[in-house]
Structure 1
Amino acid sequence: MIRAGLLAVMMLATTPVLAQEAPAVAQARADAQALVAKEALIEALGGMGAVDQATRVTFLKARKTASPEDRQALDAIWAEHYEPIDRRHTERLKVLLAGRGWFTPEEVGQRAADGAFHIVNHSPDLAFQKEALAKMEPLVAQGRGPSGYPNLYDRVAEQEGRPQRYATQRARCVDGRHAMPDNVEDPAGLEKRRAALGLQTMPDYLKGLDDMYGRCDPPKG
């Protein structure tokens, strides 16, 4: 009897499971396997993004109320300590982005996708910024582009000597307050273009700059 019982247990253990998983369970299993396969990528993007934002929060907190003279000293600290981080992040992101499309929240989660965008937006490498911009544009056409896409578009345009499209870069300084840039294409259509991509109105955006950066410095010379 003991041998017969043992044999029955062994047969059950080796018999294929005929019942199929419920669709929700099967999908959860597939999602878990896909996530585990991307664990290193998600950690890399999220980690670099966290460092990118921490450096800027720390720096802007010190700079916001500093005098013009102290701001020059702070800019030197930025160049010494934080610019090398941006360069290292750029080189690492180039490797992660090679041969693939732009990172989406559906693929890597919102935090990692945001991290990837912050890195390329702050990259000192114009050619790499243009490459990333081109990878984002199909997503933008589908309404799935990164929320910061207008910032990167304008940043690239400015570096190439072209007008900004969304007025996100280098606001003018008027009486210590931020004002609309003067190098904007089709100013009459600006608010419509900004609204189409979910951006604030210009008055609200400029007020946000004042709140974030404090009194602005007029151009030197």
Structure 2
Amino acid sequence: MPSLNDKIDTWIFDLDNTLYSADSGIFQQVHDLMGKFVSKHLNVEIKKAKEIQRKYYKQHGTTLRGMMDNHGVDPEYFLKEVHKLDYSIVDSNKKLNEEIKKLKGRKIVYTNANLQHALDVLDRIELSNFFDNIFDIKMANYIPKPDLQPYKQIIKDFNLNPSTSAMFDDIAKNLVPAKKVGFTSIWIDVGYENFSDDIKASKEYLDFKTKDLSVFLEKVNRRNI
């Protein structure tokens, strides 16, 4: 059986909680800003706003999509407001960066966030020069993972061969459509953002699971996987 390094020529990475530590606190900032946005826009208390935020994330894939579909929110305004972040708390992972740089082939970031957020994060974690493309929520027509349509779109936009493409994500359910379109799927289980029923429903679509992306990529680069 060939190693992943011999089989894969395109590596697709989720951004948040995947290319940097989930313990950094950056995504908590996003969650807090989303809660404040929902509270202000819908004129509800923050506790109620958090409930709505969680419901929309569960039902629509992102809070943004729920706010768009149910309340006609302008996506660009929403994204601008919820990404007013302090990026100084995000640190680069030298070991992870080294292993990403060693990977042969094209490297793509696929995020439910916007392009500017992706650029800011990649700059902060010192990976700006090592990714060939970014597929953001705008390129996905504001349709978030795990909807199947943007996975088909990224294949079309970047002329990908699914059978030689691998996708990494910290959200298990986001890898279900990845596997359905033919990608090799790798779940980074960081202990956040996953509902137990989603994990159970996703298991048969996960080719690999790891708690440490840098260790996994080291094995890939050594052809141990």
Query: Under a length normalisation based on structure 1, what TM-score does the superposition of the two structures give?
Result: 0.30
Structure 1 or 2, whichever has the larger Rg, is 1
Structure ranking higher in strand proportion: 2
Structure ranking higher in helix proportion: 1
Q: Which has the higher contact order (CA 8 A, sep 6+)?
A: 2
